A and B are shown apart, each in its own frame.
Chain A
Amino acid sequence: MLNFHRFFAILHARNLEFMRDRAALSWNMAFPILVMIGFASIFSGGEQEYFKVGVMGAGEHPFLQSRYIHFIPVEGQQGLAEAITKVERHQIDLLLQLEPTHRYWINSDSAKGYAVEQILRASGGDEVVRQEVSGEEIRYIDWVIPGVLGMNMMFSALFGIGFVIVRYRKNGVLKRFKGTPVTTLEFISAQIISRLLMIVSMALLVYLTCDLLLDFAMYGSYLALFVVLVLGGFSLICLGLIIAARITSDEVASGLVNLLGMPMMILSGVWFSLEGSPQWVLYVAQIFPLTHIVDAARAVMLDGAGIIAIAPQLLILGGMSALFLLLGVWLFRWE
């Protein structure tokens, strides 16, 4: 059973330990901010070199012979909808549909869109109907911030739980607790809650600092983003528990954290979109909680999605958390 007195005693001690470890604390805070500032400065003014035009349908049109334009094929209704969103976000400059109707979409706020539209008009060929959309440009920095927030949570969760509990086991801290009336449930839940408090506070601090230093997109509700951060952080902590359950060597734990963290960082779409990747990559990405965290955070921040819209990701994260937690507790050994 959970004795709250003991639970709070362990929670308080773990929080003290974390707060007083200044080096780790500042690194946890500084690392993501430095990464984001770095990206902001590298990619500021990093305009795409070519014009990008989405093309739907197999029809012929002299515009398609134009030079210095990268034509990207678009298929299906969903593809069309996604491509229109990309026009809104300035990710492609124009979208041309040749089947079943002759239409094109253009963002009225886009300078490059205006230029490509002039080339289209000058190329002759059949008349195409103008469809106007608007929307601010989604820059790389806007796109990468939800990813970096998620990635920072992931490493903090895996190291803060996976690595720290293994170190406790190795140096006898766990054995010392085993010799007291503390139960596994009290110990583990205190570790989880302590780390969750830290991860969410850190994410909020990093978010606020970036908000002061950088200009980035946030179209959705703060509540929805907060829910994603809390549930996402929880799922990653539970994943860390599985690593922490039995290992007695902190070198092995550190290796495992990296073994799990590195592919997750690459395949969860933190740094670059997985669109167009081989199908197996997309399948593998689905097993990582970070993929769903980053998806949901991007949906909230870039598309203004509410909690209902990100319900599928939240459900998956909830399910993963429950599975990891059960496995972690079931496998847990004090020694």
Chain B
Amino acid sequence: MIEVRSLVKRFGALTAVNGVDLAIQPGCCFGLLGPNGAGKTTTIEIMEGISDPTAGEVLYCGRPLGRRFRSEVGIQFQHTALQDYLKVKDVLELFRNLYPNPLPLADLVEMCALSDFMDRETQKLSGGQRQRVLLAIALVNDPELIFLDEPTTGLDPQSRRNFWSLIRGIKSRNKTIILTTHYMEEADTLCDEIAIMDEGKIIIRGTPSDLLRQYFDDLLLQLPLSALPHPHFSLSLPHELNDGGISIRSRDVNRTITTLQQEGVDLARLHIRPRTLEDLFLQLTGHQLRA
């Protein structure tokens, strides 16, 4: 569907994107992950045709981005204000009129759950409502390819989950979605394929489950320090101390638990979790994703 080759973008002495190659198949929900400043937005904006690369090329359906590209894709930018004093329905009408074959207003309202605030002026919308309106604008021309740049950043957990269900609805229509995010859970729940960026480069790509399987064959057991028999107690198992707790990696949870019990550790507040993309990122780059 869309492909980038050897993409480079420099701003003066700063190289924001440094040799990125990507190919995204039709119908895929592709997640571009990375910490702030990794080059996600710069990469996606070059793919959207909003900014030009310093070097490299972007191909849409095998051809360079042409005049019709903007009519055929949908974009939700990271920071967009809507014109003040326009009601939601005015904004949707405005953007519907910018395209030759827009979706009916009723479809957009339903797809993005807008019916409760169609008559509200844009400056009075909540964060979640605003993001839904921006999503509706991105969908106004019924695009096959949709770019969503950090669509849930700044939303409360409830709004974020609501937004995810809207994106799942779009996925079910077999649209191709390119999503940037720094929420691992978002990528895990929505994306068929992800690429992790750091310092302008893609450091790894694949499906979330494959990547986790490839890098991790263990579970993480977490305990508070207060679970130890006394403060100076030394565990026999290999472990890490972090954030006031103890983390133990284990390939055989039963055996690890038995060992801990034998050593007199209190397991009442034991937490066992599978490895996440966050752990993967930490392992690959040595720093936290949201740093």
Q: Are B99 and A180 in contact (CB under 8 A)?
A: yes
- Among B84, B93, B97, the one with the most A-chain Cβ atoms within 10 Å of its Cβ is B97
C-beta contact mask, B15-54 vs A, less than 8 Å → 1, else 0?
Answer: 0000000000000000000000000000000001011000
Q: Are A9 and B48 in contact (CB under 8 A)?
A: no
Q: Are A179 and B77 in contact (CB under 8 A)?
A: yes
Q: Is B126's beta carbon under 8 Å from chain A?
A: no
- Among A9, A12, A13, A182, the one with the most B-chain Cβ atoms within 10 Å of its Cβ is A13
C-beta contact mask, A164-180 vs B, less than 8 Å → 1, else 0?
Answer: 00001001110110111
Q: Is A181's beta carbon under 8 Å from chain B?
A: yes
Interface of A is mostly: helix
Q: Is B60's beta carbon under 8 Å from chain A?
A: no
Chain A residues positioned under 8 Å from B84 (CB to CB): 17, 21
Q: Is B237's beta carbon under 8 Å from chain A?
A: no
The B31-90 residues at the A interface (CB cut-off 8 A) are 48, 50-51, 70-71, 75, 77, 79-86, 90
Within the assembled complex, what's the spacing in Å between the Cα atoms of A10 and B95? 9
Within the assembled complex, what's the spacing in Å between the Cα atoms of A14 and B90? 11
C-beta contact mask, A6-23 vs B, less than 8 Å → 1, else 0?
Answer: 101110111011001100
Q: Which listed residue, B51, B70, B75, B86, touches A17 by the CB 8 Å rule?
A: B86
Chain A residues positioned under 8 Å from B71 (CB to CB): 181
Chain B residues positioned under 8 Å from A175 (CB to CB): 50, 77, 80
Q: Are B80 and A172 in contact (CB under 8 A)?
A: yes
Within the assembled complex, what's the spacing in Å between the Cα atoms of A16 and B81? 16
Q: Is A67's beta carbon under 8 Å from chain B?
A: no
Within the assembled complex, what's the spacing in Å between the Cα atoms of A270 and B145? 56
Q: Which listed residue, B70, B85, B94, touches A12 by the CB 8 Å rule?
A: B94
Within the assembled complex, what's the spacing in Å between the Cα atoms of A8 and B77? 24
Q: Which residue of B lies closest to A9 (CB)?
A: B97
Q: Which listed residue, B70, B82, B90, touches A181 by the CB 8 Å rule?
A: B70
Q: Is B270's beta carbon under 8 Å from chain A?
A: no
C-beta contact mask, A210-232 vs B, less than 8 Å → 1, else 0?
Answer: 00000000000000000000000
Q: Are B97 and A6 in contact (CB under 8 A)?
A: yes
Q: Which listed residue, B79, B82, B98, B121, touches A9 by the CB 8 Å rule?
A: B98
Assess A172 versus B81: contact at CB under 8 Å? Given A6-B98, A180-B98: yes
Distance (Å) between the CB of B76 and the closest chain A CB?
9
Q: Are B86 and A13 in contact (CB under 8 A)?
A: yes
Distance (Å) between the CB of A313 and the closest chain B CB?
36
C-beta contact mask, B259-289 vs A, less than 8 Å → 1, else 0?
Answer: 0000000000000000000000000000000
Q: Which listed residue, A10, A20, A180, touches B70 by the CB 8 Å rule?
A: A180
Q: Are B97 and A5 in contact (CB under 8 A)?
A: yes
Chain B residues positioned under 8 Å from A168 (CB to CB): 83
Q: Are A17 and B82 in contact (CB under 8 A)?
A: no
Chain A residues positioned under 8 Å from B70 (CB to CB): 179-181
Assess A20 versus B121: contact at CB under 8 Å? Given A179-B48, A180-B99: yes
- Among A6, A21, A180, the one with the most B-chain Cβ atoms within 10 Å of its Cβ is A180
Distance (Å) between the CB of A244 and the closest chain B CB?
15
Within the assembled complex, what's the spacing in Å between the Cα atoms of A171 and B82? 8
Q: Is B179's beta carbon under 8 Å from chain A?
A: no
Within the assembled complex, what's the spacing in Å between the Cα atoms of A335 and B45? 12
Q: Are A9 and B94 in contact (CB under 8 A)?
A: yes
Q: Is B136's beta carbon under 8 Å from chain A?
A: no
Q: Is B137's beta carbon under 8 Å from chain A?
A: yes
Within the assembled complex, what's the spacing in Å between the Cα atoms of A176 and B82? 9
Within the assembled complex, what's the spacing in Å between the Cα atoms of A179 and B93? 16
Q: Are B83 and A17 in contact (CB under 8 A)?
A: yes
Q: Which residue of B lies closest to A13 (CB)?
A: B94
Within the assembled complex, what's the spacing in Å between the Cα atoms of A27 and B97? 32
Q: Which residue of B lies closest to A164 (CB)?
A: B83
Q: Which residue of A lies closest to B79 (CB)?
A: A172
Q: Are B75 and A20 in contact (CB under 8 A)?
A: no
Q: Are B95 and A180 in contact (CB under 8 A)?
A: yes
Chain B residues positioned under 8 Å from A171 (CB to CB): 79-81
Chain A residues positioned under 8 Å from B82 (CB to CB): 173, 176
Q: Are A16 and B85 in contact (CB under 8 A)?
A: yes
Within the assembled complex, what's the spacing in Å between the Cα atoms of A5 and B71? 14
Within the assembled complex, what's the spacing in Å between the Cα atoms of A171 and B80? 6
C-beta contact mask, B81-120 vs A, less than 8 Å → 1, else 0?
Answer: 1111110001101110111000000000000000000000
Distance (Å) between the CB of B11 and the closest chain A CB?
13
Binding site for A on B (CB under 8 A): 48, 50-51, 70-71, 75, 77, 79-86, 90-91, 93-95, 97-99, 121, 137
**27 A-B contacts (beta carbon < 8 Å):** A8-B97, A9-B93, A13-B83, A13-B90, A13-B94, A16-B86, A20-B85, A21-B85, A171-B80, A172-B77, A172-B79, A172-B80, A172-B81, A173-B80, A173-B81, A173-B82, A175-B50, A175-B80, A176-B80, A178-B50, A179-B48, A179-B50, A179-B70, A179-B77, A180-B70, A180-B95, A181-B98
List 4 A-B pairs, minimum CB-CB distance, nearest first: A9-B97, A171-B81, A20-B85, A172-B80
